[in-house]
Structure 1
Amino acid sequence: MVRHRREEATIDTAHAEWDPRSEAVQADQVAGYDAMRARGPIAYDGDRSWTVFGHAEAVRILDDPATFSNAVSRHLQIPNGLDGERHRAYRAVVDRYFTVERLAAFEPACRAVAAELVAALPRGRAVEVMSALAEPFADNITCAFMGWPDALRAPLRAWAEKNRRATRAGDRAALSAVAVEFDGHIRAQLDARRGEPVTDPTGELLHETADGRPLRDEEIVSIVRNWTVGELSTIAASVGVVAGFLANHPEVQDRLRTDPSLLVAASDEILRIDPPFVASRRRVTAEHRVAGCLLPVDARVQVLWASVNRDEAVFGDPDEFRLDRDPADNLVYGRGVHYCPGAPLARLELRVLFEELLGGTARITPADGRAAVPARYPNGGFAELTLQFD
């Protein structure tokens, strides 16, 4: 059994029960969340907003979408920002793009992207993994899945970095600007496919219907934005987290080289230990009590995946790597009606990339003297991760 340990963190609680953006938390997010969870399953972080740290409390919220609504944004978010019948109608459309048959057909293209990047990695010297592998893989695989031209890879990568900077800064104006920019990329791809034969998911969406009528352009843009923005950020973060874990745990690395069939379960477990996606929001629709705390109508709630997936009441030692856990307890892709529709695609992409990476190397190790730089809230994973491939 493998244990992955972190230092303890001290939380500044001068102005609220906790501050997710405090430097104490930023120094090591997971340790900070562990420290808060030890104090209780829920905490107030100011401005009518609560954060849920406990697994049982998170499950109750996720299983009650009527009380804890996903409609939290002023902008159209399909399907994740909808509830009830509207959510079900759009989700029926979205789920058709992530079937077993579709993903099996996509796997050769996914493998080609992964193999090209792995072959290009320098051997025997330090490599910054986020810029050399994780982010290019996320950009290139998004273009491959959507049927977008290779020429869009570089603009997507530049956009993703702008989005990360704006998100870290909490800069609403910058976030709005990058959203408009990204929507422009999507609309250009839709326009290029109007009146043309359907050859990819982007073109197919132009012919979809919901509630008996064709989807409007703004609905298609929202659907594609939901797929691709999550892909660009979360897949890149996931690649970094899994690569970093394997470099620091050679016994797990060797086990997966010997038996690649364990890769899906292993990546799920590694992402439970160190979640790439930190939190998601809900809005309270009816006064409700959570862990003894009365939440008023319209209160904002953050389900902190990076804590609930490490709750000792469910997982024992949260840093212990185990492949015999109940998969239903792992909330890395969510739970309930809003379970991530792209989870099968994400698992395929991570499996294929690490099959290629482990098959194309004899050893992955941390680079001497190159400390990893953790990402800052609300992002998970690493900002920089330097490894060596032999």
Structure 2
Amino acid sequence: MVNAMQQQDWDPRSEAVQRDQRAAYDEMRERCPVAYSNFLGWSLFRHEDILRVLNDPATFSNAVSRHLSVPDGMDPPEHTAFRRMIMPYFRPERVAAFEPPCREIAATLVQALLARDELEFIGDFANEFAVRSQSASLGWPPDLCTPLRLWTEKNRRATFAEDRAAMAEIAREFEGYAHELLQIRRTAGDQASDDITSSLLRQQVQGRPLRDEEIVSVLRNWTVGEIGTISASLGILVHHLSEHPDLQEQLRTQPSLLPAAIEEILRIHGPLVANRRITTRAVEIGGRKIAAGERISLIWISANRDGRVFEDPETYRPDRDQSANLLYGAGIHVCPGAPLARMEMRVAVEELLAHTACMEPVPERPPTTAVYPGSGFAALPLRIR
């Protein structure tokens, strides 16, 4: 473990870092690419170092949480079995089947915005779309959307404050929602709704049914990852488009260009700040000696802006090779839900572009940036017509 006298190289929660996370991480990547802080442990900023971690799960374990985390917080062979179980939920045919209801959610929200000259995009669209689409994909009732939206915000605040008591209470709150949903389906028996949540009750891993705590963990991981990341991504995408009207118009007239545009915009401004690992043995990274049992934080935003990998990293170039883009991670823990996330973002932006002539900033009300563990914008005023 790190010596109690270990000097901090930076403070991830400082006002300077939170004011502009991208600039702060860029600066750290060049000045101190392997940096220690009490809050995050050892943070890695270079693409090369992060890729090394992703491709060596035996040395850099995902079992970092005190609580059950299926399958994100598991290592092989346990991770392998659970991941094999969840992967079919993100097959192309399932994602394609969900596209029409997802598009209906987006279209309904867009229509509600058209009567207004000005809106706050994060609260009025991005958060609503993320929560409604996630609930619909899992077969959850619409009246759960508001509690889920509030729960997501409480979870973000508690994580930033490192308030473990609040985080435990927030976890219990979600468990209450999930257990109620499972009980409704058990009571309904053969008449239960045919959705992902019902399906998980029938799943098996290593020859046994899933335990309730495992199902709850799967649902919690999907919900935390999906709602926060999709909302942040939409804010980043729409902000970029509002600042670049020529690109906005090009994508209106050539929607086939949208998938590549989304990947590149989110490479420049990532929606997810970091992910965690823990060392299983002593290692040396970037000249820093790190003991076994140490926390490692992979700073995704910095990796995707590393000029050693991406030429002119701040320049929007949708035709660049995206194979090194770590938007969805890499290695055995690469995000299984990437196909669903890509579809949801594409559909949401398609609907916004198809039903508006222009989305533009509000000069007198600039955006408010999000703080860790969020990225993007906490508030994004827009004018649409």
Question: How large is the RMSD of aligned CA atoms in angstroms?
Answer: 1.4
Distance in 2 (CA, whole Å) between partners of 1:333 and 1:367 is 31
Equivalent residue, structure 2, for 1:231 = 226
Structure 1 residues 143, 124: closer, same or farther in 2, change over 3 A? closer
SS at match of 2:336: coil
Give 1:293's aligned amino acid. Answer: R
Shift of 1:139: 0.9
Structure 1 residues 72, 93: closer, same or farther in 2, change over 3 A? same
Equivalent residues in 2 for 1:1-390 (5 A)? 16-46=8-38, 49-123=41-115, 125-194=117-186, 195-197=189-191, 199-390=194-385
Give 1:306's aligned amino acid. Answer: I
Contact 2:11/2:39, CA 8 A, preserved across alignment: no
Distance in 2 (CA, whole Å) between partners of 1:59 and 1:224 is 28
Give 1:257's aligned amino acid. Answer: R
Structure 1 residues 352, 48: closer, same or farther in 2, change over 3 A? closer
Structure 1 residues 180, 124: closer, same or farther in 2, change over 3 A? closer
Shift of 1:174: 1.1
Distance in 2 (CA, whole Å) between partners of 1:163 and 1:226 is 12
SS at match of 1:286: coil
Give 1:352's aligned amino acid. Answer: V
Contact 1:114/1:356, CA 8 A, preserved across alignment: yes
Contact 2:370/2:376, CA 8 A, preserved across alignment: yes
Distance in 1 (CA, whole Å) between partners of 2:315 and 2:370 is 22
Cα deviation code 1:289-346 (max 9, x no counterpart)? 1112111100111000011110011112221111122222100110010001111110
Distance in 2 (CA, whole Å) between partners of 1:188 and 1:93 is 23
Shift of 1:368: 2.8
Distance in 1 (CA, whole Å) between partners of 2:259 and 2:346 is 6
Cα deviation code 1:35-69 (max 9, x no counterpart)? 11121421122379210000011111100011000
Give the number of equivalent residue pairs: 377
Contact 1:130/1:236, CA 8 A, preserved across alignment: yes
Contact 1:123/1:389, CA 8 A, preserved across alignment: no
Contact 1:246/1:252, CA 8 A, preserved across alignment: yes
Give 1:288's aligned amino acid. Answer: V
Q: Which moved more, 1:306-315 or 1:41-50?
A: 41-50
Distance in 2 (CA, whole Å) between partners of 1:279 and 1:18 is 15
Cα deviation code 1:15-36 (max 9, x no counterpart)? 6211111111011111111111
Structure 1 residues 330, 123: closer, same or farther in 2, change over 3 A? farther
Distance in 1 (CA, whole Å) between partners of 2:49 and 2:15 is 27
Give 2:338's aligned amino acid. Answer: A
Give 1:109's aligned amino acid. Answer: P
SS at match of 1:329: coil
Shift of 1:122: 3.9
Shift of 1:126: 2.0
Structure 1 residues 44, 168: closer, same or farther in 2, change over 3 A? closer
Q: Which runs of 5+ in 1 are unaligned?
A: 1-13
Distance in 2 (CA, whole Å) between partners of 1:285 and 1:211 is 25
Give 1:276's aligned amino acid. Answer: P
Distance in 2 (CA, whole Å) between partners of 1:300 and 1:206 is 34
SS at match of 1:232: helix
SS at match of 2:165: helix
Q: Which runs of 5+ in 2 are unaligned?
A: 1-5
Contact 1:42/1:50, CA 8 A, preserved across alignment: yes
Aligned residues: percent identity? 51
Distance in 2 (CA, whole Å) between partners of 1:262 and 1:168 is 36
SS at match of 2:372: coil
Distance in 2 (CA, whole Å) between partners of 1:380 and 1:47 is 17
Contact 1:123/1:388, CA 8 A, preserved across alignment: no
Contact 1:310/1:318, CA 8 A, preserved across alignment: yes
SS at match of 1:331: coil
